[in-house]
């Protein structure tokens, strides 16, 4: 199993190219199930989760052609992938595949809309909370589907003639359930109005792609989304939006180590709340042509309290990284997690680097320390593991991060991107 070895203490200087967003690419890829034409996605990141979903889509009958990567001057790659689902080969998504990645559960929306039925295993995914599927069941039921749980699977059946547009308001904001409703309602008869929809940029990206395929969706990015159903969707070409979580992660890394880095191919407006928090912590962040410039001052980190919330609030997917940054602040900060009840697995690992963190319910109290010291640590989930990398970059001596397959799910060429900016980071394959 691979490990990552970090020797901390170096400032980061240079350019880090930001990849396409994993959490946009996954629903966009799933949208290819809605049409018999080819959906071409540009800027698809090369990540374990994307490769996993490629296998899952193949099982449903999607032909996939990957165009080789092309290197640009700033070190970035672009990867274009063509998805063609002439006919759906299988409307069952089996446990062996869905249990590895929660997002693969989302195939339930397009399968139900296009084929009138789906049998999808209840999902797995990161161990960050219970993550139920009640909102998917309620939402699809509102569109007329019959939903039944049987033997660990959801059996979903559309009414004769297909799903029917409806008004449905989510009792709680869910990114995944919003994605699924957008896809399902696009092929429903009549108009669907979704209330309390997720406003994440990835939802907007999916809506834009579906509209390019012929859907009629308005209001994405606000809490109320209206979808006028159409009888069929066609192919399209769409560019996956930049990864705001990767952007925020590297911005926090620079704030932590000090240095001057341009994050290229990204957009500051995707993460206003996180940028505000990083600025309050003392780093200088500005929009530059084609990206963001971050100047960090290392030792002069100020304590900042944050609370995770659905977009446009502070993202839960940056909570662990921000806590990593706060471990070296000049004072006490608080990090409150409101989205997932169990997303604090990084706390005990950061403590191995010398961080002083105490947990009380959903809030962590972080007492900044002047130095972290390298140690062996273990990655526990995707974002938790990158917080350990950030900690390791600022720690004195060597940090060895094991179980890096978590990192590979969501960070493309992490060690290469950091090394190009002067960090000492290497992958050790045993
Ligand atoms: C998406 O997960 C992301 N995943 C997550 O990123 C992210 O943390 C999360 O949104 C919140 O921003 C992808 O986009 C692939 P939710 P999702 O449904 O859609 C509860 C990462 O590290 N809920 O918005 O699964 C749920 O338990 C990952 O990249 C229900 O109660 O998240 C949670 O408390 C991890 N019932 C809250 O809603 C449901 O039926 C928000 O979850 C569905 C969700």
Torsions phi, psi of 346, nearest 5?
Answer: -75, -20
Pairing of strands 3-7, 398-402: antiparallel
- 15 alpha carbon to ligand 1 midpoint, in Å? 31
| Ligand 1 pocket check for 105: Cβ under 6 Å | no
Residue count of the chain, please give it: 430
Point out the residues of the chain with pLDDT beneath 70. 68-75, 124-131
The atom number, within ligand 1, closest to the CA of 133 reads 40
- 384 alpha carbon to ligand 1 midpoint, in Å? 16
- DSSP-derived 3-state class of residue 397: coil
* pLDDT for the residue numbered 379: 83
Q: Say whether 421 is catalytic.
A: no
* pLDDT for the residue numbered 125: 47
Cis amide linkage into residue 312, ω under 30° from 0: yes
The atom number, within ligand 1, closest to the CA of 137 reads 40
| Ligand 1 pocket check for 135: Cβ under 6 Å | yes
| Pocket probe mutation, ligand 1, options 176, 273, 307, 308, max atoms within 8 Å of Cβ | 176
- DSSP-derived 3-state class of residue 27: helix
* pLDDT for the residue numbered 230: 98
- 422 alpha carbon to ligand 1 midpoint, in Å? 34
* pLDDT for the residue numbered 69: 66
| Pocket probe mutation, ligand 1, options 100, 104, 132, 339, max atoms within 8 Å of Cβ | 339
Q: Can you give the three-state secondary structure of 130-182, one letter per residue?
A: CCCCHHHHHHHHHCCCEEEEECCEEEEECCCCCCECCEEECCCCCHHHHHHHH
Q: Which tokens hold the place of 340? A: 């997932």
| Pocket probe mutation, ligand 1, options 139, 175, 385, max atoms within 8 Å of Cβ | 175
- 174 alpha carbon to ligand 1 midpoint, in Å? 6
């Amino acid at each position: 199993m691979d490990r990552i070895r970090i020797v901390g203490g170096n400032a980061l200087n240079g350019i880090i190219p930001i990849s396409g967003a994993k959490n946009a690419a996954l629903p966009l890829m799933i949208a290819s199930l809605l049409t018999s034409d080819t959906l071409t996605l540009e800027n698809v990141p090369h990540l374990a989760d994307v490769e996993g979903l490629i296998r899952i889509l193949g099982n449903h009958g999607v032909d996939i052609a990957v165009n080789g990567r092309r290197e640009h001057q700033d070190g970035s790659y672009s990867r274009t992938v063509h998805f063609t689902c002439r006919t759906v080969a299988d409307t069952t998504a089996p446990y062996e595949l869905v249990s590895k990645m929660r997002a693969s559960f989302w195939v339930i929306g397009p399968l139900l809309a296009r084929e009138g039925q789906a049998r999808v295993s209840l999902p797995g995914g990161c161990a960050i909370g219970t993550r139920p599927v009640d909102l998917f069941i309620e939402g699809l039921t509102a569109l007329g589907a019959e939903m039944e749980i049987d033997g660990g699977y959801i059996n979903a059946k559309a009414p004769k003639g297909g799903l029917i547009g409806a008004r449905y308001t989510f009792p709680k904001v869910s990114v995944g359930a919003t994605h699924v409703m957008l896809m399902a309602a696009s092929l429903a008869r009549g108009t669907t109005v979704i209330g309390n929809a997720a406003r994440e940029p990835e939802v907007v990206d999916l809506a834009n792609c579906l509209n390019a395929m012929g859907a009629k969706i308005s209001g994405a990015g606000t809490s109320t989304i209206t979808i006028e159903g159409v009888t069929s969707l066609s192919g399209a070409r769409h560019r996956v939006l930049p990864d705001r979580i990767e952007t925020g992660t590297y911005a926090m890394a620079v704030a932590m180590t000090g240095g001057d880095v341009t994050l290229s191919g990204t957009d500051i407006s995707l993460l206003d709340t996180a940028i505000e928090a990083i600025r309050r912590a003392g780093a200088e962040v500005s929009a530059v042509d084609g990206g963001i410039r971050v100047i960090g001052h290392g030792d002069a980190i100020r304590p900042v309290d944050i609370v995770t919330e659905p977009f446009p609030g502070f993202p839960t997917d940056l909570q662990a990284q921000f806590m990593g940054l706060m471990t070296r602040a000049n004072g006490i900060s608080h990090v409150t997690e409101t989205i997932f009840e169990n997303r604090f697995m990084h706390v005990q690992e950061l403590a191995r680097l010398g961080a002083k963190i105490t947990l009380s319910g959903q809030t962590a109290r972080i007492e900044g320390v002047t130095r972290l010291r390298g140690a062996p640590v273990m990655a526990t989930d995707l974002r938790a593991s990158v917080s350990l990398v950030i900690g390791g970059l600022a720690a004195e001596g060597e940090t060895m991060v094991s179980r890096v397959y978590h990192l590979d799910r969501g960070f493309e060429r992490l060690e290469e991107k950091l090394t190009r900016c002067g960090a000492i980071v290497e992958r050790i394959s045993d």
